[in-house]
Amino acid sequence: MALEKDVDCPTCSESQQFYRTAAMTLHLGKKTKWRCPECGYGFVEINGIDTLSA
């Protein structure tokens, strides 16, 4: 799994390179936490479904 990924940050209003801050396997699948280095906005992704809101 990659340590960084390009995401449209809702706080910065532009595409940023988010960094993976944590990852673990749950009974639901792989859980990954991502954080924007510019503003600190973070979101969680579980099995490819994210909590990213725009």
pLDDT, one tens digit per residue, over 3-28 is 999 999 999 999 999 999 999 999 98
pLDDT, one tens digit per residue, over 24-48 is 999 989 999 999 999 999 999 999 8
Which domains, ranges and CATH numbers included, belong to the chain? 4-50 (2.20.25)
Cα separation, 53 vs 28, whole angstroms = 21
Cα separation, 16 vs 29, whole angstroms = 26
C-alpha dist (Å) from residue 34 to 38, 48: 12, 12
Query: Which DSSP category does 2 fall into?
Result: -
**pTM, 2 dp:** 0.86
